Structure 1
Amino acid sequence: MSGGISSPLLVAVTIGIISGYLTLRKVRPNQLPLPPGPPSYPIIGQLLSMPRSSEGPAFIDMSIKLNSDIISYSFLGKTIVVLNSTEAAHDLLEKRSSIYSGRFCPPMIASPNLMNMKDFLVFMDTNELWKKQRRALSSRLSKHAVTAFRTSQELEARRLLVRLLVANTECVSSEFLNTEFYRTTATIFLQSVYGYELKSPQDPFFTDIITLNASITQAALPTAFLVNALPWLEYIPEWVPGTGWKRTAREWRAQKERTMSGAYNWAKQRFISGGDDSSMVSLTYNELREMGSTEAEADEFCKNIATALIGAGTETASSHGSYQWSGIDNTETFHSQR
């Protein structure tokens, strides 16, 4: 039974689930009713209905089935509310943002014992560190500041068009397009953030970004790891059978540190020696040092905002580019979607 869960662990998990269920039963009567959801079962709630992959299509199908653009899933003491329309999202997250807006940071992401990314901008709720990071990024991404990166953006856009024109001589897949747009946006961000010129898709700085984004996406899924539903599981020793996910988290954390430090250390060595004064990390680092931050504090701050910017920026920009290209290739479908 090397691949199964040991009896002590199974007993501990069972006791924890039952305790949480009984506690929830006592508290729940005082709460307002939740939006409609799939069938619920004792103890596990709606866990069996939570999609393990392709969450978006699964949520849309459930929304259609329940005839509601707002649905919910409750399991093991956790509740997930899904908004499946622009109107619902705007009403709750824009008009009533002070009540409903927040950032989901599951234990697999937040815990110092796991991936340890609670201080990343995209996972923090509004606090002083979040405000400081936001101010730093805003000063680098203002309408005036971004003009400094226009030359590199135009150059990479031309290079992308050349690659697409060459590939257009034969049928290309959507995967090829996604890869090319991802490469272009990553090149632009690496140049703007670190002053680094990406010359090959096999460059470790580029492949590390892809790997980190993939691991973060997986770790953030509510049902991908049981610890996201039962946070106390992180304290179970790693030698206990059935806790291989802790080894996965340790490997992902090491890879995250490698991604954060690799490009940043390259950039720092360059701007400390006087070779660069225009990259985002160079300008931010110098400002922090002038304001009294220690070298270690400035390093940690710059690593966090740089990694968050590149991670989120490459995903968003490349997806937008792929979408626009698909619209050019399928004009009628594109206009109907708009």
Structure 2
Amino acid sequence: MQIVLVTDAWHPQVNGVVHTWTYMVRELSALGHQVRVIEPSGARTVPAPSEPELRLALNARAVVARALGESPPDALHIATEGPLGWAARRHALARGWRFTTSYHTRFPEYLAERMRIPAALTYAVLRYFHKPSQRILVPTQAMADELAAAGFARLQVWARGVDDERFHPGRRDALHFPRPIWLNVGRVAPEKNLAAFLELDLPGTKVVAGDGPALGRLRARFPDVVWLGGIAHEALAPYYDAADVFVFPSRTDTFGLVLLEANACGTPVAAFPVTGPVNVVQPGVTGVLSEDLRAACLAALQLDRRKVRAAVESHTWRGIAEQLLDVLVPAAPDALPAAAQGRAVRGVEGKPQV
């Protein structure tokens, strides 16, 4: 199958969208499929407001037109709602092609936090963007329920995996600080709610690995925290291994790949009981969820690391790639048998779409 992926988020950016689709390209290629990625590197770009490493294509329509041409691929997936995503949407609709989309990022909440743009306005724009999509892929059922309540339709749960060859229990000697070691890995940005973790009265040492627009402000406010800065994804495993508990204070993530990566290394998670963690963490097994984040941290410290690792061993990226193949749709209008057109779409576990 020839699959075209359109994404405004790609290397050298470091985020969950890039990690997810990098693994999908690898696994789908290993399964014998051809995956072509339309991403910003071939475009004239400008930095996104408040995110200079995120480049937005200025000539997105020309880039997409050259890349897609007039012949539809077997499947077209638009992963992001940026300039390339909008251009691909326009190109496909003008030619009657079908496509699927993803909802990776809570832009309404992020833009409200960073730029004071009303969330209702952003939700309206995103509903319009995704409305022609045959299936909107979301990472959890909780996210699907939220979006359904916000007026989105044809929602399809498509989960996430973990690279268990890269992330697995190791020597636990990468961090030489007083224990217990409380670790957070990810973007250091306002919407990640890091202060809720850093303000906690906890024994031992708090460690943050990551970079982002809030790094300078938080580093000055919390000088006792160990700030590791940005660390390449392939180099993170020893830090997950060394931590005693992975603390995830975000209330806005749609999933949180770092939760599975920490668990794969045997490190339990402490988080709030919100969308993302509620669908990833097995309470009392792989972590603890509570509105009292300090209590969750201390309780997670008591969990059996061997059981944490065992609980996530089935979450492979190969399995997630196979699920993706089940939910993609033929791009060409005449590729789907007439009897199948309009038929209710079934989920990857046999459940109807929302």
For this structure pair, what is the TM-score category when the shorter chain's length is used for normalisation? Answer: under 0.3
What TM-score, normalized by structure 2, do the two folds share? 0.25
Q: Which has the higher strand share?
A: 2
TM-score by length of 1: 0.26
Q: Which has the higher helix share?
A: 1
* Greater C-alpha Rg: 1
